[in-house]
């Protein structure tokens, strides 16, 4: 019984990236390039996926985990040699094998499926994925005869003037009969200027053997973009961002300025949500319907329910329930859980705290390591003092309580339901139900004190 297999080439060092980070681990819209490729491959439901790793192998395996099997290419001896490393896992199997590169993050599952289908329909032993380039410089050219049959692939440096004018290029993606592929790889030599074993040589070997070699041309040249340096990385990011943003807009999300809305792959957004310009939505963020995300906001790995409003604020690993709002210029840090219809105003910071429904934290307050009930009013400049220099402690505030402005809640303390903290208090002890806590020195007025001040000696201040 024949199967469907995929080999992802991810062993190259990527010296042109000039980076300490392994090339295929560089991110495009929040996801590493090799992860983009694997995610699309997975949608074709292959029976086996083998990722060929070399430099940075451990980092790639840590990222992809059990989603793929792995083959190791110790020395970088060319693409043909890289594919050959998968022979132990795939060589004896009957079926079709897709070969793709780990630095081509824009390829889609739909294109892979069309390549498989075309390969089968043509009864080919090898099918090349091609594209038409406005500027084909640097790419291998697909040379066809008068009947449109592929004759060969010619690299730029080996092309004649007529061949150089051809704009159909090799994307570096192939579909092979699996057993034929590995048999041909053993016939590939390294008799070339680079001293490497090229996968493209398999095409000529099969042609010489009279086998059918086909070429499927994808209509979208952008998909074929391989990333070898930071310039190409930026190009890929821009194209991917346009693709992501268009998908959200077609699903009912309004982007006021799509050019400046930066949304990671995998972010989920409900319909009728409005995203202003200069917004970054990252990681595993999920945003509900009918939300409004204002400009200069950044939301990372956070979950927002329906009807949430974020105004020029930063959220990290936070949760906001339906009808809540935050900002402007506030910061919800990890494990901030904001209840329904809660108001977090301007210049507030919430960290590892649960804020109950309808509670208001209006302005200039810090709530850290705390549990707040429902219907509480937290005044301006309130600080939950949670750290003694070594350990963090938790405070609790009961429902329907009032915490006056400029108060310090020194953990660990419990303020019961319906308690009241007078403005300017420093609370170090529990406050019982319906009690008023006042923790400040009684005011004393010193009459005629003005004459003792240095300013009193200045005639301008008399």
Structure tokens at 461: 């201040």
Closest CA to 174 of 367, 341, 8, 285: 8
Q: Assign 172 to helix, strand or coil.
A: strand
The helices-and-strands tally (H runs, E runs) of the chain is 9, 39
Would you call 363 a catalytic residue per the annotation? yes
The span from the CA of 91 to the CA of 177, in Å, is: 11
Cα distance between residue 416 and residue 432, in whole Å:
5
DSSP 8-state code for residue 456: G
Can you tell me the distance from the alpha carbon of 99 to that of 81, in angstroms, rounded to the nearest whole number? 13
- Identify the sign of the CA torsion 58, 60, 61, 62: positive
Catalytic residue among 248, 343, 363, 451: 363
Torsions phi, psi for 234 (to 5 deg): -65, -40
Please give the structure tokens belonging to residue 428.
Answer: 């170090």
Scanning the structure block, which residue is given the tokens 């604020």? 313
In terms of Cα–Cα distance, which of 240, 213, 19, 14 is closest to 118? 213
Question: Judging by beta carbons within 10 Å of its beta carbon (0-12, 13-18, 19+), is residue 416 exposed, middle or buried?
Answer: middle
The catalytic residue positions are 363
């Amino acid at each position: 019984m024949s199967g469907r297999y995929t080999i992802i080439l991810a062993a190259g060092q990527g010296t042109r990236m000039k980076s300490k980070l392994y090339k295929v681990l560089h991110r495009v819209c929040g996801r590493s390039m090799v992860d983009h490729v694997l995610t699309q491959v997975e949608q074709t439901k292959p029976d086996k996926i083998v990722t060929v790793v070399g430099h940075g192998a451990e980092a790639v395996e840590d990222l992809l985990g059990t989603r793929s099997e792995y083959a190791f290419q110790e020395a970088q001896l060319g693409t043909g040699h890289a594919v050959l490393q998968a022979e132990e896992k795939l060589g004896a199997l009957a079926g079709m094998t897709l070969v793709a590169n780990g630095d081509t993050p824009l390829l889609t599952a739909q294109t892979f499926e069309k390549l498989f289908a075309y390969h089968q329909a043509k009864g080919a032993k090898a099918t090349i994925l091609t594209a038409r380039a406005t500027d084909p410089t640097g790419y291998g050219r697909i040379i066809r005869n008068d009947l449109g049959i592929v004759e060969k692939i010619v690299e730029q440096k080996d092309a004649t003037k007529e061949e150089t004018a051809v704009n159909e290029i090799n994307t570096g993606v192939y579909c092979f009969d699996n057993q034929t592929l590995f048999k041909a790889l053993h016939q590939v030599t390294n008799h070339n200027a680079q001293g490497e074993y090229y996968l493209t040589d398999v095409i000529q070997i099969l042609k010489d053997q009279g086998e059918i070699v086909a070429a499927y041309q994808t209509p979208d040249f952008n998909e074929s973009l391989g990333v070898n340096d930071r310039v190409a990385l930026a190009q890929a990011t821009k194209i991917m961002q346009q693709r992501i943003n268009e998908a959200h807009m077609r699903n009912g999300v309004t982007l006021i300025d799509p050019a400046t809305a930066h949304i990671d792959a995998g972010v989920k957004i409900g319909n009728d949500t409005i995203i202003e310009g200069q917004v970054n939505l990252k990681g595993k963020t999920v945003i509900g319907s009918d939300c409004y995300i204002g400009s200069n906001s950044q939301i990372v790995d956070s979950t927002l329910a329906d009807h949430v409003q974020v105004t020029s604020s930063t959220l990290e690993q936070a949760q906001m329930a339906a009808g809540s709002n935050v900002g402007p210029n506030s910061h919800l840090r990890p494990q901030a859980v904001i209840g329904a219809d809660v108001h977090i105003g301007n210049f507030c910071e919430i960290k590892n705290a649960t804020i109950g429904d309808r509670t208001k934290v209006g302005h200039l307050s810090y709530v850290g390591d705390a549990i707040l009930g429902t219907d509480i009013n937290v005044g301006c400049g309130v600080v939950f003092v949670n750290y003694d220099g070594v350990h963090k402690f938790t405070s609790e505030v009961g429902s329907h309580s009032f915490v006056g402005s400029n108060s310090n809640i020194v953990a660990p303390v419990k303020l019961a339901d319906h308690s009241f903290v007078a403005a300017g208090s420093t609370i170090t002890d529990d406050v019982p139900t319906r009690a008023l806590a006042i923790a400040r020195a009684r005011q004393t007025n010193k009459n005629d004190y003005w004459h003792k001040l240095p300013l009193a000696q200045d005639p301008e201040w008399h």
